[in-house]
Amino acid sequence: MLALFQTIDLALNLYTWVLIASAIFSWLFAFNVINSRNQFVDAIGRFLYNVTEPVLRPLRRILPNLGGIDISPVIVLLIIFFLRSFLWTTLYPMVA
């Protein structure tokens, strides 16, 4: 059972880093720091968008419009941190 909890925790941790990378990539793209015509950069951007957008899109519909500020990644990160804490402090002691 420990292996299952560790695998779920690892997946949530990896998704946290993907969200952070996606946010940084979007800032770099918005400020023209990276060349969007480069195929490698474009592939990374499409990957990050395809992985994070299914989770972020429903939240963007619910959250109020704050102008140019997108707080949906912050909300998802808070949810992930809550799930990881809940997993280890509540669920794991009940099962172990």
Q: What is the pLDDT of residues 2-54, one digit of tens each?
A: 999 999 999 999 999 999 999 999 999 999 999 989 999 999 999 999 999 99
Assigned token pair, 11 = 């997946």
Predicted model pTM: 0.91
Examine the pLDDT at 67 and tell me if it is beyond 90.
Answer: no
Contact 52, 18 (CB under 8 A): yes
- Rounded CA-CA distance 44/21 in Å is 10
Examine the pLDDT at 68 and tell me if it is beyond 90.
Answer: no
pLDDT mean over 70-78: 96
Residue 43: its pLDDT value, please? Answer: 96
